[in-house]
Homo-oligomer: A and B are copies of this chain.
Amino acid sequence: MALVVQKYGGSSVASADHMKRVAERIVAAKKNGDDVVVVVSAMGDSTDELLDLASQITDDPPGRELDMLLTAGERISMALLAIAISTHGYEARSFTGSQAGVITTGSHGKARIIDVTPGRLRSALDDGSIVIVAGFQGVSQDTKDITTLGRGGSDTTAVAVAAALDADVCEIYTDVDGVFTADPRIVPNARRLDTITYEEMLELAASGAKVLMLRCVEYARRYGIPVHVRSSYSQLPGTIVAGSMEDLPVEQAIITGVAHDRSEGKITVYGVPDRPGEAAQIFRVLADAEINIDMIVQNVSAEASKLADISFTLPVSDGPTALAALEKVKHTVGYSDVRFDQHIGKVSLVGAGMRSHPGVSARFFGALADAGVNLELISTSEIRISVVCRDTDVDVAVRAVHDAFELGSDEVEAVVYGGTGR
């Protein structure tokens, strides 16, 4: 008998009929002899509807109350799911994040899980119940106020609960059949991966792959929880995220996949005096404004002028805040100009095998050059190469790289079901 944590996103529980279908899948696992804990998101668009209600009152609601409002969404879905399970003759008990012992920081709207104290969940499991837990929410350690975790929070809840209960596996049910070598909407013959290591999944998530959020994968790696990404619309095998790349067999494929990201923008600061500390001053003020910088490049200055240009990428939504922060230090830093470019895209190649295989970079850049893609920024890690290009070049670049490394399948494997959870 295993302990299984299953997580269903908002599109999987968007209506009463969806609830019934998900309930059947949960009951099937229970009938199979497993203990089952389910983490569930708010129904379909219900979070947006709650946000819309708040926006009818003000554009600037207090974080504590916005979190109180939004957590009603999972409360509704988890209770309905428990009701749907009860029609099969099984008892299901739903628990809010607070009741489930999901302890977080006090940062409303983007709280981080500090600990999970699953006493009530354990008791309910001991009683033979199926346990339902509200995703995306917790309770702050200091103030006992209700918090939300931010984007992808329900996945993180699922992995954190799985870790706290020492579960055998955390199954993430989503609207794709698993993790693919590229986004199947761009590369129709993208291949589903049977397994992927935590490190590779981290790099893919950090590079824009949306199937799992970065924080969820970090949590899974830290606690060694196998994550099984599966479709809630099919019985296909999905992808297992587990294991370290240190343990990979030598015959492992060199390259795991190609990720892309259109959610970043690029800021370039022109004419920065090329003296020690000027760049530090710029990045200090951005850090103080809580801007997450991704890639950075500094153009070597012309010897004569002693001026440099510094470019960096950041979430497009952080652009206005970053520009305001930079404006404040314009005179102390003494730069000449700053520009914000929202039309960039990032393409990344990820693979544990590239550590030990020379020539990956050459083939990667060769493929992009042959496809006529102009590169604006480049960054690398041990198992990743990323480039920034025009956003209109992203599709071409992804296909070119995917082809160059022969990542595709002979047939179309992916079904894209549409919809996103949180």
Contacts and interface: CB of A to CB of B under 8 A. Distances in A.
A68 B57 contact: no
Given A57-B16, A87-B57, A76 B64 contact: no
Classify chain A: how many residues form its interface, as a range: 35 or more
Interface string A92-128: 1110000100000000000000000000100000000
5 contacts: A57-B80, A57-B83, A58-B86, A65-B93, A69-B79
Contacts of A64: 93
Interface stretch (A48-56, A200-208, A221-229): A48-56
A76 B57 contact: no
In the complex, the 5 A-B pairs of residues with the closest C-beta atoms, listed nearest first: A69-B79, A16-B56, A68-B79, A65-B82, A72-B72
Interface of chain A, main secondary structure: helix
A86 B62 contact: yes
A373 interface: no
Interface string A65-77: 1101101100110
Interface of A: 16, 19-20, 50, 53-54, 56-58, 61-62, 64-66, 68-69, 71-72, 75-76, 78-80, 82-84, 86-87, 91-94, 99, 120, 144
A69 B80 contact: yes
A114 to B, nearest CB: 20
A184 to B, nearest CB: 33
Contact of A72 (B20, B66, B76, B86): B76
